[in-house]
Structure 1
Amino acid sequence: MNTAEMTDRIANGQGFIAALDQSGGSTPKALQGYGVADDAWNGDEEMFAQIHTMRSRVITAPSFSSGKVIGAILFEKTMDGEVDGKTTAEALKDRGVVPFIKVDQGLEDEADGVQLMKPLDKLDALLAKSAQAGMFGTKMRSVIKSANAQGIAAIVAQQFEVGRTIIAAGLMPILEPEYDITAADRAEGEELLKSEILTRLDQLPEGEQVMLKLSIPVKDDLYAELIRHPKVLRVVALSGGFSTDEACARLARNPGMIASFSRGLLQELRADQSDDQFDAALGGAIDQICEASVA
C-alpha cells in the first residue's frame, strides 16, 4: 500500500485499529497475561524478544488478515523487528493493515488536573526512522484526570503542537488526550475537551489533517462534530479500562467512532494455545470489536 491507499484505508475502512504498542513498564504485565512468566526472560532485550514473538503470532494469524483490522499501532522495537522475514511494517501492509508507531516517552506528574507528555527529545530521529521504515502515522498519549479548563487547554495545545511536527515529517499523527474514565467530572471535562479540540482543528492550515484517539464519551455521540470535521481523518476510541463487553457496547452507541483497543483484543490469547485455538480466540475478539466499530 502506498500513502494514498493507506489514507483511504484509514478514512473509509470498515474495521478498527489494533493497539500493539505496550512498552517499558507495561510489557511484563502483557507477557504475564499471555502466560509468559517473569522467569522466562532475563533483562530488557529478552523481554522485548518475548513480546515481539507474541505480536508476530498475532500479525501472522489468519484472522488478523480478515480485513477487519485496518491499522495497527506498534512500539519502536516491534517496528525494528521482522515478521515472516519482512520488516513489521511491510508484513502488516501485505495483510492490508496500516502501520502506526508510538512516539511518546511517558507522562509528566499531574498538574492542573492533567498529565502532559514528557519532552519528546528523541522525536526527530524516531520520525525519520519511522518514515524510512514505511510507517503511515504515529500515536502519542497524555491523560486528563479532571475538568480543569487550564489543564485541558494545555494538554490539547501540546498534542497539536507535536502533531504539526509529525505532519511536517510526512506522517499522520494520532492525538490521544485520554480522559480517565474514573474521573467523577468526566462529562463536564469532555465538553471542555471537545471545545478545545475544535478550536485547534480550525487553526490547522489547509491541507493538514490529524486523527484523534479519545475515551468513549459519557454522552453518546458527543464527538459527532469531530468525526465530521474536514481536518480529522478518523476518530478512534480507547477502552480505558472498561471490560471488552462494556467498551464495545458503549462504542456501538457512537456512530463513526472506531475502536483502537489493546487489552480487549489480546486478553484471551495464551502462549500455550495451539495455532487453531490462538486464532479462534483472536478471531472472536476481532469480530466483536469490529462489529462495535461499524455499528
Structure 2
Amino acid sequence: MNPETLKNTAHEIMSPGKGILAADESTGTIAKRLASIDVESTEANRQAYRNLLFTTDGVENYISGVILFEETLFQSADDGTPFAKVLADKGVVPGIKVDKGAKPLALASDEKITEGLDGLRERLAEYAKAGARFAKWRGVIDITDEQPSDYCIDTNAHALARYAALCQEADIVPIVEPEVLMDGEHDIATCERVTGRVLKKVFEALDGQNVLLEGMLLKPNMVIAGKKSQKQASVDEVADATLRCLRRHVPAAVPGIVFLSGGQSDELATAHLNAMNQRGEQPWGLSFSYGRALQAPALAAWQGKPENVEVAQKAYHKRAKNNGAAAQGSYSSDMESAA
C-alpha cells in the first residue's frame, strides 16, 4: 500500500465543485433503464449510451470521477480508445464497481448481504491494469418495524471493511457505500437513528481492518424519510439531520463524502446537497456520486437514436453543472430553467 497514492487520488476526486458519475449499473439494471426508452439491452447499445456520457464536452469541469461496470471498463469509445483512457485524458478518474450484488443473508433471508470478496484481490489487479484508480462496494440496509438487525449491520460492515482493505493493498481508493434504503414508511428520525447505527459499525470495522481513513471515501445515503412515509421532511430538515448524523459518526480524517441519490428526484438530490454545503465548512468535503439523478434527463432525451446524442449530452451536462454548483453551495432552482 502506498498511502500517498491513495491520499492523492482521494483528494483529486474531491476537487472543489466536482463529483462522481455512477455509471456502474449492472447488466440487469441497465436493461431496465434502456427498456424504459424501448431500447434493447445489447452490448452495442450499452456501449453507445456510455459513449454518449463519457464523450460529453466540458463535463470534466463538474465530474472528477466515473464509476464503471466491469463490462464498460474493458469497452472502447467509437474511435477505438478505451473508455478508461477517454476519461483519464479529460482529467476524470476512472473507477470500478467490484461487488457482485446483494443476496439473501443466511438465516435472515429478509435481509441482504453483498457478495464478491472471493477472488477480489486478483480482480483488483486486473482492474488497476485497465486504468481503474478507485472502486465501489455497496451494502444494502432496509428499514422495517423489525429491521435492520444487528446481524445484518455487522456482516455488511465487515464485508465493506474487508473490501476496503483489499483495495488499499492494490493502491485503489475504496468508496465505502453503506446504503440505508428509503423505500419504507419510516420517518426521518428513524432514518437518522438507523444511519447512525450503521455508520458506527462501519467505522469500527474499518478500524479493525487497518483501513487508512485518509485514503478512502464514504458514499452514504442522506438522512431522509421513506418514500411511503406520510410525512416528508423539508430540504432544510434533511440537510440538518444528515449533517448532524455524519458529524457524530464520520471521523474528520475521511477526506470526502459523496452522497448517493437513493431514488430522489434529480432536482431534489441537487437541492439537498446544496443546502448542506450552504451550512459552511465541514470536517470533510461534501459532494455527489449520482447515477440516475445525473443520467435520467440524458437517457430520456437520447431514446437510443444517434440524431439525439447532442441534445442528450446537453441534458447530462446541465445536471452535472447544477450538481457541481451544489457541491459548492452555489446552486439555485433558477438554474433548472436556464438553457
Aligned to 1:135: 132
* Corresponding residue pairs, total: 284
Q: What per-residue deviation string (whole Å, max 9, x for no partner) do you get for residues 261-293 of structure 1?
A: 111111112133534312221111112222222
Give me the whole-angstrom Cα distance separating, in 1, the residues matched to 2:154 and 2:273. 25
Residue 282 of structure 2 corresponds to: none
TM (normalized to structure 1)? 0.87
For residue 69 of structure 1, what is the amino acid of its counterpart?
A: I
Aligned counterpart for 2:216 among listed residues 193, 210, 215: 210
In structure 1, what is the equivalent of residue 328 of structure 2? Answer: 294
CA contact (8 A) 1:227 1:234 kept: no
Q: Could you tell me which residue of structure 2 aligns to residue 192 of structure 1? A: 197
Q: Is the 8 A contact 1:17 1:73 kept in 2?
A: yes
**What are the superposed Cα offsets for residues 31-55 of structure 1, whole Å, 9 maximum, x if unpaired?**
234x3523xx6xxxxx122111111
Do the aligned residues in 1 keep the contact of 2:16 with 2:327 (CA within 8 Å)?
no
Q: 1:151 to 1:267 in 2, by over 3 A?
A: same
Which of 250, 259, 276 aligns to 1:237? It is: 259
1:251–1:292 Cα contact (<8 Å) kept: yes
Corresponding residue number in structure 2 for 1:260: 289
2:25 counterpart (17, 22, 27)? 22
C-alpha distance in 2 between matches for 1:207 and 1:262: 27
1:280 and 2:314 aligned: yes
- 37, 40, 65: which is aligned to 2:39? 37
Q: Which moved more, 1:179-188 or 1:197-206?
A: 197-206
Comparing 47-56 and 252-261, the one that deviates more: 252-261
- Quick one: structure 1 residues 69 and 104, their matched pair in 2 at CA, closer, same or farther if it must change by over 3 Å? same
Q: Which runs of 5 or more structure 2 residues have no equivalent in the other structure? A: 225-240, 278-284, 330-339
Output aligned runs, 1:43-54, within 5 Å: 47-54=42-49
Contact 1:63–1:282 at 8 Å: present in 2 too? Answer: no
For 1:190, the aligned partner's letter is T
Quote how far apart the aligned CAs of 1:125 are.
Answer: 3.0
* Structure 1 position 164 matched with structure 2 position 165: yes
TM-score (norm 2): 0.76
Query: Cα offset for 1:202?
Result: 4.2
Is 1:123 aligned to residue 120 of structure 2?
A: yes
For residue 247 of structure 2, the aligned residue among 204, 217, 224 is 224
8 A contact 2:137–2:175 mirrored in 1: yes
- Whole-angstrom CA distance in 2 between matches of 1:116 and 1:274: 40
> 1:235 Cα deviation (Å)?
1.3
Q: Displacement of 1:104 after TM fit?
A: 0.8
2:92 to 90, 97, 101: 97
Does the 8 Å contact 1:220/1:253 carry over to 2?
no
Q: Secondary structure at the match of 2:258?
A: strand
Per-residue CA deviation, residues 92-125 of structure 1 (Å, 9 max, x unaligned), is: 0111111110111111115387411124334233
AA matched with 2:131: G
Unaligned runs of 5+ in 1: 42-46
* Whole-Å separation in 1 of the counterparts to 2:62 and 2:193: 34
CA contact (8 A) 1:105 1:117 kept: yes
Fraction of identical pairs, as percent: 25
